[in-house]
Structure 1
Amino acid sequence: MNQVLFSETDSKGSEFTIQGDLEVISRDLGHLLNLEPDNEDYGINHVKKNDPWGDERWTEKERLEDEARLSAVLSFGYEDWFSIFNKITKKKNGTFAKNRVHVIHRGNTYAHYWEDSYGWNAPEVRIKSINDLTAIVSLDYVTEHY
């Protein structure tokens, strides 16, 4: 169930909210954290860095940074949510533009190359505006096409 993570009232009296279910995000992130490098699904050696035919692999340091940024959303404070609130696309009247997505972080070290989709599928912590006053935070797997 979504909880209000951030609320802001503008000068016109409209109350904007950022909602999300941090328990679900935490559960979905759980299987991605602290993996062995050779884990077939999401270890750092499961995929090469920039393209499927390159030689360069992700480093352990890059993976730890990726893990930290993916899980940081679970401990965001007011200032973090306020910063994200200001990045959400708004219409001329100052309300959220419906169905716009802002990516908080994309877990590139977890990406899988999908030939059928012509791109890299990876987890993203993203925020989507669902109406003029509400945005929802979620963890989704999104294919970045090349």
Structure 2
Amino acid sequence: MQHIARRKSLGRHVDELQVGEKATFTQKVEERDVYLYMGLTNDLNPVYVDREYAHRTELGEPVVPGILVAAQVVAAITGRLPGPGTITAHQTLRFASPAHCGDVLTTELEVVSLDPAANRATLKSVTHNQEGKPVLLAESEVIPPPRLRSVLTHAFEDYD
């Protein structure tokens, strides 16, 4: 049996987006996600997993690394709006409150400006927990997927 790989479709091009357009992305943060993050980055801050240590801080309990919460914004951008193939060019983050393992985080994206000539879109987002409490406010300048040239055009571009 021959397996044929199917390409996933790319996200929407900048000229297919509209200011005011919105999308949401929801995901539960598991303890294993924090351990995977720690292993990948070597960020071994005890406030992430050491309950005794975290209890002695103003946080009171272990927290999810901020960059892991920020990664949810990127996942929302590349998964929902504009979608697969999008690249984040610039991002500003403001952490409003800590996230904890077991939290269900919802990121709400909104397109706030478009620059078709530069193939850029600016999105604002709010990520909140299951109680509706804001965890992260972000603004992201993204490069939506470009319109790709035909493979045949690309293959023969050096020939006259």
TM-score class, shorter: under 0.3
Larger relative contact order (CA 8 Å, sep ≥ 6): 2
Q: TM-score, normalised by structure 1?
A: 0.26
Q: TM-score, normalised by structure 2?
A: 0.24
Q: Which has the larger radius of gyration?
A: 2
